Structure 1
């Protein structure tokens, strides 16, 4: 495998963008994912979304790419100070998009990365296995009894860890 690259020189890959879109799923009309959440549209976009808004897949993918570049890649470049492989970068940008910038930058993942514990950072993705049904009601998505509620989140975390450790197939 070739050498890791300075984070400042990396950009979210096309494979990363398509993977993120697949992970998030598409909705053409604004909706509220979970009680207390903000309106969401397209591939998980929340910025300036109002109930009643609509989009199409092409516009939603363009919006996703713009948001990822402007907010999530920028945040990763501020809080991760070590070089990464492209596949690691893609995984961590995807994760930051899913959990939010503040949560990502304050996470065990980033702490381990900045200590150059790359395997530990990939393993830490599995710590993000909880789903908040409503305020005060969190479920562990790794448990079989929660598979129908949030098993997809657990599958996403396992796939992210595998990609993080091994790279693209």
Structure 2
């Protein structure tokens, strides 16, 4: 297990806090004042929040963190529990990587993915590798998505890096 995965997994954080702290927040960044996301054509605030956001909205860091934790739990983890057989029994590293992936690309995409099918079959390594396929936007590989899906960069851990880091053997 590499050092970054070891540190993250030894943190003692539960699934939601682990995912938010080591994957989602570092890759999404947090903006306290709502901004207009030209790519998504939607008002966005905090750590990628778009639900009900309007111009001028402002949240503290604590409010942003709570908003992210609530969304990860209710809008991503709970649906994954329903669509990915055995989700709660999977290694924490696989759950966290899949949870962050769903936050970034959507629950439906993850539920219908090869990664979910392999995870349900307890092929953890295969699932970790399959998650890396979500590295495109507009049909082209995007460097930032490739880094997020794979082994990160100098300051951020990647989903595969964490995912594989929590597996035995």
TM-score (norm 1): 0.77
Q: Which residue of structure 2 aligns with residue 16 of structure 1?
A: 19
Q: Which residue of structure 2 aligns with residue 116 of structure 1?
A: 122
Q: Which residue of structure 1 aligns with residue 145 of structure 2?
A: 153
1:146-169 Cα distance to aligned partner (Å, 9 max, x none): xxxxx222111112112111129x
SS of match in other structure, 2:163? helix
1:53 to 2:57 alignment:
yes
What is the rounded CA distance, in whole Å, between the counterparts of 1:15 and 1:63 in structure 2? 15
What is the rounded CA distance, in whole Å, between the counterparts of 1:115 and 1:39 in structure 2? 39
What is the rounded CA distance, in whole Å, between the counterparts of 2:101 and 2:16 in structure 1? 14
Contact 1:12 1:69 in 2 (8 A): no
| Counterpart mapping for 1:39-118 below 5 A | 39-82=43-86, 83-118=89-124
What is the rounded CA distance, in whole Å, between the counterparts of 1:105 and 1:15 in structure 2? 21
Higher relative contact order (CA 8 A, sep 6+): 2
TM-score (norm 2): 0.77
Q: Which residue of structure 1 aligns with residue 141 of structure 2?
A: 140
What 5-or-longer segments of structure 1 have no aligned partner? 1-10, 133-137, 142-150
1:164 to 2:156 alignment:
no
What is the rounded CA distance, in whole Å, between the counterparts of 2:57 and 2:164 in structure 1? 39
What is the rounded CA distance, in whole Å, between the counterparts of 2:136 and 2:38 in structure 1? 13
1:46-76 Cα distance to aligned partner (Å, 9 max, x none): 1111233222211101110111111111011
Larger CA deviation: 106-115 vs 91-100: 106-115
SS of match in other structure, 1:161? helix
What 5-or-longer segments of structure 2 have no aligned partner? 1-13, 151-157
What is the rounded CA distance, in whole Å, between the counterparts of 2:59 and 2:45 in structure 1? 7
Larger CA deviation: 154-163 vs 33-42: 33-42
Contact 2:119 2:127 in 1 (8 A): yes
1:104-144 Cα distance to aligned partner (Å, 9 max, x none): 11112111112222111100111111124xxxxx4312xxx
CA-based RMSD: 1.9
